[in-house]
Amino acid sequence: MKRGISRRAFWVWIAALAAQLCSAQPSTRPAIPDPSAQARAQRAIDEVYQKELASNSVAQRRELARKLLDQADGEADLATKYVLLRNARDIAAAAGDAAGTCGAVRRMCEQFACEAAPMKLAAVRAAIRSATNIRDCAAGANLCIASAEEAIVADDYASAGKLLAIAQGAAQRTRSAALISTVESRSRELREITTEAAKIPAAREKLKQNPDDPAANLLLGRHLCLVKEDWTAGLPVLSRCGAAGLAAAAAADLEEPIDAKAAMEVGDAWWAIAQKQSPLAQRSVRARAVKWYRQALGGLDGLGRSIASKRIEEFELQRLSQMGLARGLAAELYTGTDFARRIRLRVDPHINFEWGLGAPDASLPKDNFSIRWTGMLRVSGGGKYQLTIIANGGARLWIDGKLALDASTAGRARNGVHAAVELSEGLHPIRVDFWDTTGIARMKLHWQTPGATEREPIPAAALYHELADELE
């Protein structure tokens, strides 16, 4: 992935940890603006970004796509917002940036009543076609694999097949045996699922005649739970499937244990079953196990708590890795305080710095510099979070594209500047701008989580960035 998740809001269009690509209901999203409004917006964008649009540099084109997404974050006019996102999508695609392209697609589908599947296919195909290096091809292939899994869950096997075909071509260009093998494995799994799906109507008819038919229950139960991730409908069916392990786990799950020990046992049962499943089914079953581990965690101690915590973290890190995310925030270092002259791009594990009279980096001066951090904030539990910026200089914090904390005069606040923000569980795009003029330099971003009595630096385990060749 390329840098700047908060501005690209990266492709959290794969399931788990974040909402589905088009989680908003069509009725809640505005229609695509009419052509005349789009044309008006395009003329304004062409005028403002005339110089950048004329550049043929791949790096500058990618930077322009990022700027357009930045601009779209705070744009109130719907036509302008839509055209900014459309331009970002097309420019990133032409620059071979599959992740940036799909990030723009995701934003378009979240904010407008777009038809996601064809747009997604066209965008990733164009980006991979324009890719000029192995890293971009690999990123594109992984995006296609993840998106194909989404399509399978939605019963859109045709789109899944097209996405895997694109992934296969991209993987071949990387000459990575592991990636090629992964695509082939997913393609085999798709064929098996498609074959099984064709049998589902007959299984449903059979169950009308004999609700306890073990083979029909196994076929339908596996499809609902392990492919569709519809555990509500699938668990009763799976509990009658006749396969001892699956049936027992489903029956125990249906009892909805409320004590920690029983919840841990259900989680363990699903975790063991997951080890024998194909990749897509394994992801679904592990997600179910993690649901019960989370419920059990508060009542566990000792080794049991350690095992549950380890498995939750293992699952989430795997999902984040599949999404192209790694720990830490992308940090853009600038001379001056206007974020115009970038000197370096690196990864910072957190924002908790005391530079004193020194510089944050050998490439920067001791005074008159600025830093922009972007990425994803991972929230493990929803609720009200108290956020604090402690800075000698000024800073601003955006979450989900909205200004959450303005600490532009933080240097005058001895105990920092505070704000309470309601956050849901999952990933939230985050951006932090900091600037220093003279004197002692410091910048810290702390939080107090729901139920906690003290604030702490936001830990590295809660901060992620998009992988990129440029990041060091």
Give residues with Cβ within 8 angstroms of 244, minimum separation 6.
none
Residue 27 has pLDDT above 60, yes or no: no
Residue 472 has pLDDT above 50, yes or no: no
User: So what's the pLDDT on residue 404?
Assistant: 92
As a whole number, mean pLDDT of residues 204-216 equals 95
395, 443 Cβ separation under 8 angstroms = yes
The CA angle 165-168-171, to the nearest 5 degrees, is 155
What's the pLDDT band for 468 if we cut at 50, 70, 90?
Answer: low
User: So what's the pLDDT on residue 138?
Assistant: 85
Phi, psi of 219, rounded to the nearest 5 degrees: -60, -50
Tell which residue, 150, 115, 113, 135, has the closest CA to residue 20: 150
Phi, psi of 339, rounded to the nearest 5 degrees: 55, 40
Residue 150 has pLDDT above 70, yes or no: yes
Which CATH fold would you assign to the domain 326-466?
A: Toxin - Anthrax Protective Antigen; domain 1 (3.90.182)
- Greatest mean pLDDT among 118-132, 162-176, 396-410: 162-176
Q: Which residue has the higher pLDDT, 323 or 359?
A: 359
Our separate counts of H helices and E strands in the chain read 16, 13
Burial status of residue 277 (CB atoms within 10 A of its CB: 0-12, 13-18, 19 or more)? middle
What's the pLDDT band for 313 if we cut at 50, 70, 90?
Answer: confident
Tell which residue, 3, 1, 11, 2, has the closest CA to residue 427: 11
69, 104 Cβ separation under 8 angstroms = yes
Query: DSSP letter at 33?
Result: P
Residue 322 has pLDDT above 70, yes or no: no
Q: Give the tokens for residue 281.
A: 């089914």
Residue 4 has pLDDT above 90, yes or no: no
User: So what's the pLDDT on residue 26?
Assistant: 41
Residue 9 has pLDDT above 50, yes or no: no
Q: What is the pLDDT of residues 243-301, one digit of tens each?
A: 889 999 999 999 988 899 999 999 999 999 999 998 888 989 999 999 999 999 889 88
429, 293 Cβ separation under 8 angstroms = no
Query: How far is Cα 432 from Cα 434, in angstroms, rounded to an integer?
Result: 7
Residue 421 has pLDDT above 50, yes or no: yes
Crossing angle for the helix pair 116-130 and 134-153, nearest 10 degrees?
A: 160
What's the pLDDT band for 381 if we cut at 50, 70, 90?
Answer: confident
Residue 470 has pLDDT above 80, yes or no: no
Could you tell me what percentage of the chain is helix, strand and coil, using 3-state DSSP and rounding each to the nearest 5?
A: 55, 20, 30
User: So what's the pLDDT on residue 216?
Assistant: 96
Q: What is the pLDDT of residues 327-347, one digit of tens each?
A: 899 899 999 998 888 888 899
Residue 312 has pLDDT above 50, yes or no: yes
What's the pLDDT band for 5 if we cut at 50, 70, 90?
Answer: very low
The CA angle 6-12-18, to the nearest 5 degrees, is 100
| Residue 75 amino acid letter | E
Tell me if residue 241 falls in helix, strand or coil. Answer: coil
As a whole number, mean pLDDT of residues 114-127 equals 84
As a whole number, mean pLDDT of residues 358-386 equals 91
Across the chain, what does the average pLDDT equal?
86
User: So what's the pLDDT on residue 104?
Assistant: 86
The proportion of the chain whose per-residue pLDDT surpasses 70, expressed as a percent, equals 92
Residue 24 has pLDDT above 70, yes or no: no
What's the pLDDT band for 42 if we cut at 50, 70, 90?
Answer: very high
- Give CA 327 to chain center in angstroms: 13
395, 363 Cβ separation under 8 angstroms = no
- Of 76-85, 148-157, 206-215, 345-354, the least confident: 148-157
As a whole number, mean pLDDT of residues 12-29 equals 41
Domain chopping of the chain, boundaries: 5-191, 198-322, 326-466
User: So what's the pLDDT on residue 386?
Assistant: 94
Query: How far is Cα 124 from Cα 27, in angstroms, rounded to an integer?
Result: 27
User: So what's the pLDDT on residue 467?
Assistant: 59
Burial status of residue 102 (CB atoms within 10 A of its CB: 0-12, 13-18, 19 or more)? buried
Give residues with Cβ within 8 angstroms of 464, minimum separation 6.
5, 320, 325, 326, 327, 328, 329, 375, 376, 378, 427
User: So what's the pLDDT on residue 207?
Assistant: 95
User: So what's the pLDDT on residue 246?
Assistant: 94
As a whole number, mean pLDDT of residues 18-25 equals 36
Which helix (DSSP H) or strand (DSSP E) does residue 172 occupy?
helix 157-174
User: So what's the pLDDT on residue 115?
Assistant: 80
User: So what's the pLDDT on residue 98?
Assistant: 82
Give residues with Cβ within 8 angstroms of 205, minimum separation 6.
none
Q: What is the pLDDT of residues 161-208, one digit of tens each?
A: 999 999 999 999 988 898 899 899 899 999 999 999 999 999 999 999
